[in-house]
Structure 1
Amino acid sequence: MAVKESSDRLVELLTRDDTVLDQWVQAVTETLRGRISRAEVQRELTELSRGLTQAVEQAGLDWQGEGFSEVRALLVELSRNRARHGFTPGETATSVFACKDVLAPTTGSSAEDITAYLQLTRLLDALGLFTIEAYARTREEIISAQAEQLLELSTPVVKLWEGVVAVPLVGTLDSARTQVVMEKLLQSLVDSGSEYAIIDITGVPAVDTEVAQHLLKTVVAARLMGAECTISGIRPQIAQTLVGLGVQFGDIVTKATLADALRHVLQLSGVQRYAAGGEK
């Protein structure tokens, strides 16, 4: 069968009667179980059906070519929409695969129609796989964005007193999180004009050499901004671990609890105000 004749057969198959689109919409709507309205499915598949028909008419079965660019764009949009609504990859691909059931040949179909249908199923299979790939990329983007949001939420900078801010850390402290801690702490020092910062590690389950190095980098960065840092939450187990590892904090002040650190900082700031002739 010639390429032009094959394309014409496929177009005839896709547009054989007015009920094809309605059946396609109905089949997809049922698989989505009401989580997306029929009107939304109707809009998506109407655009996809029109784009698919035009693409087959112009480019035949070359779904990776320029003639199918609109179809691919529509499928990416559909996949992103499904991913954001929490649908599975299978439910997403069904929006394409359901067309095969609607256009399945009947007992009275001609050999030419059956051949055209087999060609169409191969095309729809390829587009369905493309849809799953687009869905997977979107899910990765969503997960990455959520991870960044959780990272932001897990490193709050709290104003404890005038001129005193604190960063209560909970969970594992790695390089990526240390960078976020530095950025938020330094920005908070600038915004609030604070001269003292407390890094509380009470919620950090374990402190090893790497974590200690991360803390030291954060303290050095704060000092470059003109702020003095105190590390609180040094429990007996952590102290023993740091001694065993040979980690030294040098002249950095460490305290057992956040309350002790705050008391130390307030006393330090009070002495400075008194020496300057202010109120003690």
Structure 2
Amino acid sequence: MSTTTTGHLANVLKTHENALLDGWLNGMLSRMVRRDKNAETELRAVASRFLPLVAAAAAKGNSYDIDTPAWSEVRQQLADLSATRVRQGYTPIETATFVFSLKEPVFALLRDSVDDSRELVDETSSVGALFDQLGLYTIEEFTKSREQVIMRQQQELLELSTPVVQLWRDVLALPLIGTLDSARTQVVMENLLQKIIETGASIAIIDITGVPTVDTLVAQHLLKTVAAARLMGADCIISGIRPQIAQTIVHLGVNLEDVITKASLADAFLVALKRVGANVTYSQELA
């Protein structure tokens, strides 16, 4: 199969652009799961821009190799389309159908335009391979865009899952929920240190009530966070030490002797208030 163009595809796209556009859109719309006026209008606009780009690339590049510079604008539009459809919730197949559904109307026009049967077979084969390349490129770009979205969402979830709360003047609380891995520890540390800088707090309570298990790695992450906070001038109290976690820490031989630990956040808060010079008094209502 040759990747050299014969000019038939470019000629068909230019000569029969309106008819091809209508046939292509009808084919795409018949396969669409989600149908609404805005989606159809957007689809027509994208398709109207795409056909002239393909025609220009086929005529200018003299090749159906989409990796050549002549096809750069076509690749860019497909990349933009893929990124947009990731955000809109489309699937990779729905996105690639944008290209694959163009085959049938193009083949029909080629049959009417090319008289020589052998030349028609060669051209149909080459054009089919071209659209296969473009469709696979669309899926590849869709996958890249989706991975970027997932990574960004994971980062946002990390930041949302590590809130630093100011409980009192000079007292911060960092409630942790879920597994504490290396990536999350970095976010935890950055958020805590930033909050210490902003508030000038001298006490930070790290509450691990929501951490399901504590192993050597988790304990090391906690100690790193405590050490970083101390370098910023804030002491740390670790709360939420349940009996099974206490036994695990002892069994692992983790040294927490120089860190204040408490069973609950309330107990840690009382200690923090005393450390900053605040007095807690209890009032009883008259019977």
* TM > 0.5 fold call: yes
Q: What is the deviation of 1:185?
A: 0.4
Structure 2 equivalent of residue 226 of structure 1: 233
Q: What are structure 2's unaligned runs of at least 5 residues?
A: 280-287
Q: Choose from 39, 45, 48 the match for 1:46.
A: 48
- Which secondary structure state, in structure 1, belongs to the residue aligned with residue 146 of structure 2? helix
Whole-angstrom distance in 2 between the partners of 1:183 and 1:30: 51
Native 8 Å contact 1:10 1:117 kept in 2 = no
Whole-angstrom distance in 2 between the partners of 1:11 and 1:270: 82
Q: What is the deviation of 1:37?
A: 1.6
Native 8 Å contact 2:25 2:44 kept in 1 = yes
Whole-angstrom distance in 1 between the partners of 2:66 and 2:230: 59
Residue 24 of structure 1 aligns with an amino acid whose one-letter code is W
1:66 aligns with 2:66: no
Q: Which runs of 4+ in 1 moved over 3 A?
A: 1-4, 105-110, 112-115
Whole-angstrom distance in 2 between the partners of 1:127 and 1:7: 19
Give the TM-score of the pair, scaled to structure 1: 0.91
Q: Choose from 121, 126, 129 the match for 2:128.
A: 121
Structure 2 equivalent of residue 21 of structure 1: 21
Native 8 Å contact 2:3 2:126 kept in 1 = no
1:237 aligns with 2:240: no
Structure 1 equivalent of residue 83 of structure 2: 80
1:170 aligns with 2:155: no
- Which secondary structure state, in structure 2, belongs to the residue aligned with residue 167 of structure 1? strand
- Which secondary structure state, in structure 2, belongs to the residue aligned with residue 270 of structure 1? coil
Structure 1 equivalent of residue 202 of structure 2: 195
Number of residue pairs aligned between Structure 1 and Structure 2: 271
Native 8 Å contact 1:13 1:116 kept in 2 = no
Whole-angstrom distance in 1 between the partners of 2:21 and 2:184: 50
Quickly say closer, same or farther: Cα 1:63–1:80, change in 2 above 3 A.
same
Q: What is the deviation of 1:120?
A: 0.9
Residue 88 of structure 2 aligns with an amino acid whose one-letter code is H
1:145 aligns with 2:131: no
Residue 40 of structure 1 aligns with an amino acid whose one-letter code is E
Query: Greater shift after overlay, 113-122 or 235-244?
Result: 113-122
Quickly say closer, same or farther: Cα 1:120–1:98, change in 2 above 3 A.
same
1:157 aligns with 2:164: yes
Provide Cα deviations, 1:164-199, integer angstroms capped at 9, x if missing partner: 010000000011111111110011011111111000
Query: Greater shift after overlay, 196-205 or 241-250?
Result: 241-250
Q: Percent identity among equivalent residues?
A: 47
Provide Cα deviations, 1:6-64, integer angstroms capped at 9, x if missing partner: 43212223234231012112222333332662121111111110100000001131211
Quickly say closer, same or farther: Cα 1:3–1:136, change in 2 above 3 A.
closer
Q: Choose from 249, 262, 265 the match for 1:255.
A: 262
Provide Cα deviations, 1:56-105, integer angstroms capped at 9, x if missing partner: 00113121101111111111011111111111111110000010011233
Structure 2 equivalent of residue 276 of structure 1: none
Quickly say closer, same or farther: Cα 1:76–1:2, change in 2 above 3 A.
closer
Native 8 Å contact 1:103 1:117 kept in 2 = no
Q: What is the deviation of 1:118?
A: 2.2
Q: What are structure 1's unaligned runs of at least 5 residues?
A: 273-280
Whole-angstrom distance in 2 between the partners of 1:2 and 1:203: 62
Alignment RMSD: 2.1
Residue 259 of structure 1 aligns with an amino acid whose one-letter code is A
Give the TM-score of the pair, scaled to structure 2: 0.89
Residue 258 of structure 2 aligns with an amino acid whose one-letter code is D
Provide Cα deviations, 1:146-177, integer angstroms capped at 9, x if missing partner: 00000001100011111101000000001111
Native 8 Å contact 2:3 2:64 kept in 1 = no
Whole-angstrom distance in 1 between the partners of 2:98 and 2:68: 22
